[in-house]
Amino acid sequence: TFNKNNILKTTISDFVYNCTKAVHSHVDIITQFKTAVDRLVQENAQLKEDKLQLLEEISCLKSAAIQSQNSIISLQDELLDCKDDQLRSVQSTVTNAVKTTVQTEMKSYSEA
């Protein structure tokens, strides 16, 4: 019985040792997994922050583009007004030149 008790104690001791070793191994794996999950959570939070910053930058760029387009439209309106003024001026000059030429020719024709 003494031998059996020693063998039983040794077997139980080995079993407990192996179980403890297995538990420690699993604890290490779980700790590594938790560390990896924590890192992913931090990275995800940073990505969310980056995304919000990018969305804000995009919004600013869109606003700037709209302002630029409004400026272009305004400048195009001014250009059209200038072209209209130039056209009126040319029309007036041509009309006056034709009128003067016709009057001069008619005077020359009537005097001849």
Once rounded to an integer, what is the mean pLDDT over residues 29-44? 97
Which segments of the chain does DSSP mark as H helices, in order? 2-111
Rounded distance between C-alpha atoms, residue 82 and residue 77, angstroms: 9
Once rounded to an integer, what is the mean pLDDT over residues 66-87? 97
Bigger pLDDT: 66 vs 3: 66
Rounded distance between C-alpha atoms, residue 55 and residue 105, angstroms: 73
Q: How far is CA 60 from the centre of its chain?
A: 9
Rg of the chain, C-alpha, whole Å: 47
Rounded distance between C-alpha atoms, residue 81 and residue 96, angstroms: 22
pLDDT for the residue numbered 109: 77
pLDDT for the residue numbered 17: 93
Q: Which pTM value belongs to this model?
A: 0.55
b/e 98-112 (16+ beta carbons within 10 angstroms → b): eeeeeeeeeeeeeee
The amino acid sitting at 68 is S
